[in-house]
Amino acid sequence: MTDSAEGALGTDRASKRKAEKRERLLAAARKLFITRGYHETRPQDIAREADVAHGTFYSHFNDKREIFLAFASEAQEDLHNFVSSRVPEVNSFEEYLNYALTAIQEFAEQNPGLLRSALVDTKVFDPSDTTGKVVRSRFASGFIKVLERARKNGELYDDVDPELMGHAMMGMIQASAPQAYRMGKSREQYVSLMANFLTRGMVRNPERL
């Protein structure tokens, strides 16, 4: 093997090791942020959980805020993909709402503690961050699109603002889905309660009343 080939191989191995350590740090951060919370988690705790040297943390992330943003962005992407894959084409706001809420609650059940991080507004931690905004906006756009169509079809009250309510629904879900899980509400109970509440507030003649 030539010197250049050996050098390229060595560089490739080093890159793989670096990527693996970054993934270990992210996995450790995910665990600790969920179990301890943001403020009780320190960079050295993340490094210890990932079984890497403390200094290794700073070769990948500048500080705790940066790794939290990376973790939150991954969680948001996971949630978006999960829900998108489980919501078919539907004809009404109520129908969409039931599919979406069921998928969100299923995500919460399969990933305890992750939903709150997936829906967090990352600008709270970094006003300049745009990664979370992109995913949150894309996720909210599903609600907004269906609300706009429902308003066009005359399903909604005239004073319902689809864009505002689409984002408001995300905040409601962020708070209510984990709470429902902690309260021991079944998926069906949660979906029924939330769907009825939202349709009563926005839909002219809810079928489920």
What is the tens place of the pLDDT at every residue in 3-44?
Answer: 555 555 556 777 888 899 999 999 999 999 999 888 899 999
Contact between residue 102 and residue 186 where contact means Cβ atoms under 8 Å apart: no
Query: What is the per-residue DSSP string for 13-25?
Result: HHHHHHHHHHHHH
Q: 104: closest CA among 80, 120, 88? A: 80
pTM: 0.76
What is the tens place of the pLDDT at every residue in 154-206?
Answer: 989 999 999 999 989 988 888 888 788 788 889 899 999 999 999 999 998 76
Domains of the chain (ranges; CATH) run 1-61 (1.10.10.60), 70-209 (1.10.357.10)
The rounded distance, in Å, linking the Cα atoms of 162 and 168 is: 10
